[in-house]
Amino acid sequence: MKIEHALEKENHFELALSGSIDEDAEFNAIPKIQKNLLVVDFSQVTMINSCGIRDWVNWTKTLDSNVQVHIKKCPKFIIDKINILKGFLPAKSLVLSFYTPYYCENCDSEKQYLFERGVHFQEQTADKAAFVDYDLEVLCDQCKTAMSMDVITEKYFNFLGVK
Amino acid sequence: MKVKLWGVRGSLPAPLLPEQQYQKSLTNLKQFHEALSTDPNISPEKFLNSLPSYMSKGFGGHTACIQVQTSEQNIIVDGGSGIRKLGEVLMCGPCGLGRGEVHILMTHFHWDHLIGLPFFVPLFIPGNKIHIYSVQDNAEESVRTLFKKPNFPVPYEALGAEFIYHTLEPRKTVHFNDLKVTPYQLDHPDPCWGYKFEHNNKTFSYCVDTEGTRVSRKELGEDLALYQNVDVMVFDAQYTFLEATEKVNWGHSSAPIGLDIAMREEIKKVYFVHHDPAASDEKIMIAEKQTRDYYKTRLKALKQQEAEFSEVDWEFAIEGTEFEL
């Protein structure tokens, strides 16, 4: 695992990770988070295994209790882990964006489309059901025909509270 | 090399409660009744054999004890409550005649790995020789503690067998005739040593109890060899993955950790053991399902990345599981 950047911004701390998050990941190398909001960019992470998950979960436990964690640009395998493992995300965390795979039956190509919170999805709250834009039209870059969402929706979007 | 798992529970023996036994029987009988409606000729045996083992037999309640046998050697690892039944089998041979020689390797001295020894009958028979092996140098003290009044009516001095204690050198191979055994350190709150068995180019590793805190090759250092060139591994999976992240330094691991080690080190088969005594058979199956989901996503991700990896055959072991290498 590599720390692509660890930047203290005005209102939040931005952390971008890359590579494999596995038993060799060194979360201790991440500087102390001095802001109340931590935004973690997973777009360049290529893999996470059980040891990486364990180290990630243990590291998030070391954050001050008032630190809110937002994660963005999550690859599908991160969302899969969030769905399988309750506790992957600390309390008070939010998923800001994640990739959803789409498939073109015409030319057998795949595409990862970035779903953004408030635009393409919203998690369930006390007074609102979860929302996912299942009807979003995603066009194939090659043949320009409409692509199909390539996930089992009730499983993939389960973390949002979708029923 | 044949291996039998005489006890696969951790921490405390966990017999099925009468009410649990009743519910299991009721569920199976209902399902058999349904099966008869589609196949009136189905026999009870055929029906039971069609069920997952945890439904027909349960995972078992005895604590850690395994037996490793070759044509020339018979080694026991740990004296959990599972050793009692093993003792009954041994009593049918030379042990029953006071001509037995028993070899017990100890991983460590927590109660669940000792608790069966006071009920291991060969210890009581004059003429039998009981060899106890450990890396730790306090094996005799721990065994004597089991046979102290008022906690046990038979004092150590009254046991009929002769006890011989052997202190093993860490990571140094010992030869038991045709079987080579090497101790490697595990990650547990008190010193704990796993064992690697080698016989006829086949290798079996017993990795219980361990939290799997050290997983990277760098962290494992000299103990990495416990996981390398291994055909079959028995690994500590007391907790679900989430429980294990909450119970840091409790000394036990979860199946996904064992799987990742196995995939990296190309271990062909893994049996997960040391099931939590508080876990019902149904709960262990949920943990198995979660592990299966985890394994599927890992395989898919690795295939998509076109990474080199090794698929692993694995299962959550039930008491009485036997396998041959």
Residues on chain A bordering chain B, Cβ-to-Cβ distance under 8 angstroms: 22-24, 46-47, 49-51, 53-54, 57-58, 77, 80-81, 84-87
- Any CB–CB contact under 8 A between B254 and chain A? yes
Parse chain B into domains and list their residue ranges: 2-12+63-318
Mean residue pLDDT of chain B comes to 95
With 0-12 CB in 10 A as exposed, 13-18 as middle and 19+ as buried, what is B73?
middle
What one-letter code names the amino acid at B52? P
State which H helix or E strand residue B232 sits in: strand B232-236
Other residues' Cβ atoms within 10 Å of the Cβ of residue B149:
8
- Are B256 and A46 within 8 A, CB to CB? no
pLDDT of B130 over the 80 cut: yes
Q: CA-to-CA distance for A136 and A140, rounded, in angstroms?
A: 13
List, for residues A104-140, the tens digit of each pLDDT value: 999 999 999 999 999 999 999 989 999 999 999 999 9
Judged by a CB distance cut-off of 8 A, whether residue B297 touches chain A is yes
**Would you call B176 helix, strand, or coil by DSSP?**
strand
Instruction: Encode pLDDT of A70-81 as tens digits.
Output: 999 999 999 998
Query: Across the interface, do B260 and A24 touch by the CB < 8 Å criterion?
Result: no
Q: What DSSP character marks residue B306? A: T
pLDDT at position B297 is: 86
Residue B218 touches partner A, C-beta closer than 8 Å:
yes
B140-152 confidence digits (pLDDT tens) = 999 999 999 999 9
Query: Which class is B2-12+63-318 in CATH?
Result: alpha beta
- SS3 sequence of A42-92: EEEEEEECHHHHHHHHHHHHCCCCCCEEEEECECHHHHHHHHHCCCCCCCC
Chain A residue numbers touching B265 (CB-CB < 8 A) = none
E strand or H helix at B302: helix B281-304
The neighbour count for residue A46, using CB atoms within 10 Å, is 15
State yes or no: pLDDT of B73 exceeds 90.
yes
Top residue of A47, A50, A84, A152 to mutate, by most chain B CBs within 10 Å, is A50
CB contact under 8 A, B260 and A86: no
Distant-in-sequence, close-in-space partners of A107: CB < 8 Å, separation ≥ 6? A140, A142, A143
Q: Distance, in angstroms, between A78 CA and closest chain B CA?
A: 10
ipTM: 0.83
**How many residues in chain A?**
163
CA distance A10 to chain B (A): 33
